[in-house]
Structure 1
């Protein structure tokens, strides 16, 4: 149960609404007009790279049997893109100590998500590691681009409102069907009856 809960912190059903919340809050809390654009680009690129890697394998069998790689772990990549930014945003006016702690939590959550994907046998090590590297690269690049950005503080009621939707989604536990959609899309795109599987990779 613990690992299923942790892995949900990387599920699109939770992350996409949370990413939208971040995009809506940034113009209000940031003094940099480009911050929201940079965020949309960072999160969008994470989704694009993950989707392309999965389509290449599911539709065309492009992967690596040697590294047991069938595409980036979406849970790992998307969580590593989102949570450091989410904690940076919320902790914008905290003291340096507490802000550093919050950012540490933002980087720790994706690591736990990635580990949970291994425990429940949803991905290989190469897929989790590359997913985390992709996500952390994008979130860190975003944070570096915002190093001179001043953020307005959050009151605790505002923090509660910001976290309300993610907490409600977490409580519901409904998972996204993005993998099933990509499987159908990739098979149709390549003209296949069914998408490639990991077993097909090792048979090649």
Structure 2
């Protein structure tokens, strides 16, 4: 409920604030690649039991992967006209936020270490590839009002309080694709290790 709308807002801002209009499409490609890889890994497990009992892996952590794809690019975009040192600091914060997201997934016991680490690696690979490919582009700066609106929209999305039902959708889809009665569970996978 936060990351997907924010990614869409970023695509609009990239198109608006850059002379290279293709940059928005490259961003959409990077973000959608993260979502597709995460979804396919979850469908592989939920529908077909493809995972690793040894590493307690049932698919990439979506929160970790999508955050690691989004936040570095967002802070790069918003800091477009700052001095190089401040821009670097902003992008560093963009890399720090996904690490905190990953730690929260572990603290809440929603994911294993392998799922968080691979999710972060996936997302950081995509965001870093995007940033390296566009390192010479300096998006036009934001006025204080524009910056306030750009930062306010994600905060409003967080405050909306609705939880995305992505996991439930993937479970139903996986069961249909695999033609099974119920989705695979972590408990079933870990029994294979015994």
| Match 2:35 to one of 47, 55, 65 | 47
Q: Give per-residue Cα distances to partners, 1:82-140, cap 9 Å, x unaligned.
A: 00000000000011121111101100000000000000000000000000000000000
Aligned twin of 2:168: 180
CA distance in structure 2 between the aligned counterparts of 1:188 and 1:203, rounded to whole angstroms: 24
In the alignment, is residue 162 of structure 1 matched against residue 150 of structure 2? yes
Q: Secondary structure at the match of 1:193?
A: coil
* Pairwise CA RMSD: 0.8
Q: Deviations over 1:9-43 (max 9, x none)?
A: xxxx1000000000111111112122111101100
Equivalent residue of 1:133, what SS? Answer: helix
Deviates more, 1:109-118 or 1:99-108: 99-108
Q: Distance in 1 between matches of 2:97 and 2:164?
A: 19
Equivalent in 59, 63, 68 of residue 56 of structure 2: 68
Matched, 1:199 2:194: no
State the Cα deviation string for residues 60-79 of structure 1 (Å, max 9, x = none): 00000000000000000000
Alignment correspondent of 1:144: 132
- Separation (CA, whole Å) in 1 of partners of 2:76 and 2:86: 11
What secondary structure is seen at the aligned counterpart in 1 of 2:140? coil
Q: Please, which of 122, 125, 128 is the counterpart of residue 116 of structure 2?
A: 128
Counterparts of 2:78 and 2:100, CA distance in 1: 20
2:3 corresponds in structure 1 to 15
Aligned residues: 192
Separation (CA, whole Å) in 2 of partners of 1:43 and 1:182? 18
Distance 1:113 1:156 in 2: 28
- Residue of structure 2 equivalent to 1:6: none
The residue number in structure 1 matching 2:47 is 59
For the residues of structure 2 that align with 1:128 and 1:166, how far apart are their CA atoms? 23
Runs of 4+ aligned structure 1 residues displaced above 2 Å come to none
**TM-score, normalised via structure 2 length:** 0.97
TM-score after normalising by structure 1: 0.92
